[in-house]
Amino acid sequence: MLRFVIISMLALPLLAQDRTGTIQIRVSTDHADWRYEPGQQVRFRIQAVQDGQPLSGVQVTYRIGPEMLAPVIDRTVPLPAEGLVVDGGMLEAPGFLRCIATIQRNGRTYRGLSTAAFRPEAIQPTQQDPEDFDQFWAAGKAALAKLPMDAKVTPLADYGNAGAACSHVNLQNVGMGAAPSRFYGILCEPRAPGKYPALLSVPGAGVRPYRGMAEIAAKGIITLQVGIHGIPVNLEQSLYDSLGAGALAAYNTFGLDSRDRYYYRRVYLGCVRANDFLTSLPNWDGVNLAVTGGSQGGALSIVTAGLDPRVKGLAALYPALSDVTGYLHNRAGGWPHMFRASEGPLAHRTADKIATTRYYDVVNFARRVKVPGLYTWGFNDETCPPTSMYSAFNVIPGEKKLLLALETGHNTVPEQVAEVEAWVVAFLKGAGR
C-alpha cells in the first residue's frame, strides 16, 4: 500500500535569500545618433538597473565636461527608479562632451558614461607638421635599407592548422643607437602552392607573446603578426609580464626628449622592415599588401601606410598616438597622454619632448595616407579619446570609411570585428587585380 504524506507549506521554515548581481549604470543622450551641432543643448538620461529591474534608493554622482578634462558639472543627487534626466550643457566648437555617472553600493563603485559628439568631422589637429618631416623619415628608411634583413625563420609545428603553416621570424632592424636591433613576429602562410596577398598585423600596447593569424592565412592570405620590443614573441608569458612591469614599463616615453632616440623610431622602421620581409617571400603575389591593428596597432597601421608606398590599404581600430598635443590646447589628446599632466613626476611638457612628438604623431602620418582604409572606434573610448582619433581621420587624403560602434569604449564588439575582417579579406583579394 502506498502512503502519501502531505506536509503543509506553512509548516516549512522560510529560508533566508540573499541577492547579488552586477549593477549597470546606463547613460544615454537625447539624440539617437549621439550628434549635436555646436551651441545645441545636450540632455543625458541616467538609469541604474540590477537583474534587469530599475534600482532606486541610491545616490548618483554625475560629472559632465569635455572628454578627458576636468568636469564643468559635478553633482550628487538621489536617483529615482525611473531614472534621471540632466542638462549637460553644450560645446561651442567641434568636440565631445561626456557624462560619467557613478553610484556606491555594497562597498563597490559602479560606473557608466555617454559621450555626445559636436560635429566631429570638423575637428582639426593641434599637432604641428614639421617642414623636414619627410626628410627625417626618408633618412630613417635609408639607414634601414643599408642593413641586411638577415631573416631567420623557424617553423612552429604546433601553431598552424590544416590550411596554414606558421613560423617564428627574426629580422635585423635599426636600433635605439648605432647598433642594430632585431624585430620578431609569427608568419603564417597558406599551405597550398600559389601566389597570395599579404597582411601585416601590428600590435596594441603592452608586452606579450603572439600566436599568429593562422585562420586568416588559411583563407589564402600571408600574415605576419609582429611584436615591437626587439624580443622573441614565442616565449613564456611570465617573461613578458616581468618586462612589462619592469624594464619596459612606460616604454612609450623612452627617449622622448630626442627625435633620434625616441622608442618608436625603431618601432616605426621595424614595421617597414616587416614589409621588406613580406614582399620578399616567393609566394607573395607581388601587388597586394595591407596592414591592420588596434590601439597602438591602429596607430602603427596609419604610420606604416604613411611611410611605406608598398602598402595598398589598411584597417585601423581606435588608433592611439593621435594628436597627443591636444592637452596643450585644453582638449583631449591621444594615448599615451604624455602631456596630460602639467606638473609632477608624470609631466612631459618640455619644448624638446613636444618637438619630438611632431615626428611621431599619427596625425602627421595620416596627412600622407593616400590608400583606401577602414577606420573604426566608439565615442566612449577613454584610452584613445575620439577627439584625438578624428583629428587624424579628418586629415587623411585617401579613400576612407568610418565604422562607428558608438557605445564602445576601448574595445570592440563581435559585429565590428567581423566587419573589419571581412573588409580586409575582400580588399586583399580584390585590390590591384
* pLDDT at 73 exceeding the cut of 80: yes
Contacts of 342 (CB under 8 A, 6+ apart): 349
Helix (H, G, I), strand (E, B) or coil at 171: strand
pTM beyond 0.85: yes
| Per-residue confidence band for 106, with pLDDT thresholds at 50, 70 and 90 | confident
| Per-residue confidence band for 21, with pLDDT thresholds at 50, 70 and 90 | confident
Question: What is the pairing mode between strands 152-155 and 73-79?
Answer: unpaired
What's residue 244's pLDDT? 97
- Rounded-to-10 torsion of CA 397, 421, 163, 313: 0
pLDDT digits (tens, 9 = 90+) for 306-345: 999 999 999 999 999 999 999 999 999 999 999 999 888 8
| Per-residue confidence band for 395, with pLDDT thresholds at 50, 70 and 90 | very high
What's residue 178's pLDDT? 80
How many angstroms separate the CA atoms of 49 and 63, rounded? 19
* pLDDT at 183 exceeding the cut of 70: yes
DSSP 247-274: TTTTGGGTTTT-TTT-HHHHHHHHHHHH
Active site residues: 295, 381, 410
Beta bridge partners of 44: 29, 86
* pLDDT at 108 exceeding the cut of 60: yes
What's residue 22's pLDDT? 82
* pLDDT at 428 exceeding the cut of 50: yes
How many angstroms separate the CA atoms of 431 and 398, rounded? 15
Compare 22 and 39 and report the one with higher pLDDT. Answer: 39
Compare 83 and 56 and report the one with higher pLDDT. Answer: 83
| Residue 194: all three cell numbers together | 600559389
What's residue 2's pLDDT? 46
Residues 418 and 389: beta-carbon distance below 8 Å: no
* pLDDT at 18 exceeding the cut of 70: no
* pLDDT at 390 exceeding the cut of 50: yes
Residue carrying the nine cell digits 541604474: 48
How many angstroms separate the CA atoms of 187 and 161, rounded? 13
Q: Beta strands of 91-220 (E only): which ranges? A: 95-105, 108-118, 152-155, 164-173, 181-190, 196-201
What's residue 177's pLDDT? 80
What's residue 89's pLDDT? 97
* pLDDT at 433 exceeding the cut of 80: no
What's residue 1's pLDDT? 46
Residues 60 and 76: beta-carbon distance below 8 Å: yes
In the chain, the domains with their CATH numbers are 23-122 (2.60.40.1930), 133-430 (3.40.50.1820)
Average pLDDT in the chain: 94
* pLDDT at 162 exceeding the cut of 60: yes
Give the Å distances, CA to CA, from 164 to 197, 209, 223.
Answer: 14, 19, 10
Residues 380 and 354: beta-carbon distance below 8 Å: no
Edge-to-edge strands, sheet with 108-118: 35-36, 108-118, 95-105, 58-66, 73-79
Return the sign of the alpha-carbon dihedral for residues 182, 185, 190, 195: negative
% of residues, the chain, pLDDT over 90: 90
Compare 19 and 411 and report the one with higher pLDDT. Answer: 411
What's residue 430's pLDDT? 87
How many angstroms separate the CA atoms of 26 and 219, rounded? 40
Residues 202 and 226: beta-carbon distance below 8 Å: yes
| Per-residue confidence band for 132, with pLDDT thresholds at 50, 70 and 90 | very high
Phi, psi of 242, rounded to the nearest 5 degrees: -65, -40
* pLDDT at 420 exceeding the cut of 80: yes
How many angstroms separate the CA atoms of 331 and 387, rounded? 8
Mean pLDDT across the stretch 259-287? Answer: 98
Mean pLDDT across the stretch 74-88? Answer: 96
Residue from 71, 86, 76, 2 nearest 41 by CA: 86
Phi, psi of 7, rounded to the nearest 5 degrees: -110, 125
- The counts of H helices and E strands in the chain are 9, 18
Residue from 256, 253, 255, 230 nearest 243 by CA: 230
Mean pLDDT across the stretch 269-283? Answer: 98
| Residue 254: all three cell numbers together | 623612452
Contacts of 140 (CB under 8 A, 6+ apart): 174, 265, 268, 269
What's residue 6's pLDDT? 44
